[in-house]
Amino acid sequence: MPSPEAVKPMVGTTVMVAPKHLGGFAEACLEKLGFPPEDASILADRWVWAARRGKPTHSVIRLVQVAAAVREARVKPKVDWSPVRQRGGTTLLDARDGYGVIAGARGMRLAVEGARQHGNGVTVIRNCDNTGALGMFPGIAIAEGMIGMAITNSNPIMGGWGGARPLIGNQAWSMGAPAGKNPPLLLDMHLAAGSLGTRRESAASGTPMPPGIAADSRGVPTTDGKAALDGFMLPMAGYGGWGIAVMWELLTGVLSGGMFLEDVGAHGKPQSERVSLFTMALDPTAFMSAAEFDARVDELIDRIHASPTAPGFDHVRVPGETGGEHWNRHEQTVPVAQADLDRLKPLAAELGVALPLG
């Protein structure tokens, strides 16, 4: 039973790069692509975060996509980030087809400022393209000693409960909190019962999928990958997962004044995805001292780790543990696949930026 947050081992040659070199490279490329220095720095910082957490697919390799999206005018590199509305710790932003990772990071920074002053802060953002790995945003709160939460809506891939067509997105979300001696807690998940790849693999191989993952074009649950490709994914935990998906749609697309349900675009299409993001920060020091909070989170983690295990398990894991261990091992240098550098080479040459070489 693998945990869904497992860090995938990198295949092929890996180059070890200092975080500041990797970030500097990304920042320089982004500026050449027309991003203002502050936004280039914000995005590069999140990509370095992803590399250090063991999520290379959400790191600098995304430059290739971003460059294409900017050139196709799907993503706007220059965005007026002035709040649409603000009350206390609460802010509404319109990303105006800006890149979602920048939008979410700016949103969480505002939420953290709000939390510092008012105990908690919420930023809701509409019209974002590509929100990346959702853990990137609580990661910002954690670095400031706060609890963070982020939710995105996305293009419909799941059916409603008893529905016959894709109606709602995978609704990725993440929540995290700092700890003391342990790596921070960081949950990063989506709401579909399985990954989209399961359908494709089953359709290609003819091997049935496990039950409860997908439905056919009439909305009837199926284990046949081919039938499922014409249908949709089912929510995890049945009606419960569907219910959470609806509430996440409310906190994102509805509350942001942006797109919801079928109006949300798909990734990789000519138009911006126009997803919405909900980001929240909660300051533990509104409740107790930072030292006491860190100690209590450590106690929670330590007691879970010390609890007896079932056959085949060496300990009970907590959310974010694998990524946290990767983070701790890669303070000085982060692994970048040579294959990713090869893919980035033409863009780097074109923009006149030297590839990072460790």
- Residue ranges in 75-104 that form contacts with its own copies under rule CB under 8 A: 85, 87-90, 92
117 binds its own copies (CB under 8 A): yes
Contacts of 336 (CB under 8 A, 6+ apart): 14, 15, 16, 17, 22, 51, 56, 59, 60, 356
Q: Which is nearer to its own copies, 312 or 352 (CB)?
A: 312
Q: What is the 3-state secondary structure (H, E, C) of 215-239?
A: ECCCCCEECCHHHHHCCEECECCCH
Nearest distance, CB of residue 8 and its own copies, angstroms: 16
Give yes or no for residue 357 binding its own copies (CB under 8 A). no
Our finding on whether 66 is near its own copies (CB under 8 A) is no
Tell me the β-bridge partners of 318: none
* SS3 of residue 256 by DSSP: coil
- Considering only residues 199-258, where is the footprint of its own copies by CB under 8 A? 215, 218-220, 236-241, 243-244, 246-247, 249-251, 254-257
Min CB(271)–its own copies separation in Å = 20
Contact 229, 155 (CB under 8 A): no
If one asks whether residue 319 binds its own copies (CB under 8 A), the answer comes out as: yes
Beta partners for 99? 129
In the complex with its own copies, the residue whose CB is nearer, 22 or 193, is 193
- Pick 78 or 315: Cβ nearer its own copies: 315
Q: Is 167 in the site for its own copies (CB under 8 A)?
A: yes
Four-CA torsion 148, 149, 150, 153, nearest 10 degrees: -170
Considering the complex, what minimum distance in angstroms separates the CB of residue 76 from its own copies?
22
Please report whether residue 124 would count as binding its own copies according to CB under 8 A. Answer: yes
- 275 near its own copies (CB under 8 A): no
**Shortest distance in whole angstroms from residue 326 CB to its own copies:** 17
The span from the CA of 107 to the CA of 234, in Å, is 30
State yes or no: residue 181 binds its own copies (CB under 8 A): no
Assigned token pair, 90: 């609460």
User: Least Å distance between CB 77 and its own copies?
Assistant: 26
Residue 100's H or E segment, with its range, is helix 100-118
CB closer to its own copies out of 17 and 134: 134
Whole-angstrom Cα distance, residue 183 to residue 108? 20
Which residue in 17, 95, 151, 187 binds its own copies (CB under 8 A)?
Answer: 187
Q: Least distance to its own copies from the beta carbon of 231, Å?
A: 10
| Identified binder of its own copies from the candidate list 162, 197, 206, 352, rule CB under 8 A | 162
100, 130 Cβ separation under 8 angstroms: yes
- Binding of its own copies at residue 24 (CB under 8 A)? no
- With a CB cutoff of 8 Å and minimum separation 6, the contacts of 23 are 44, 45, 47, 48
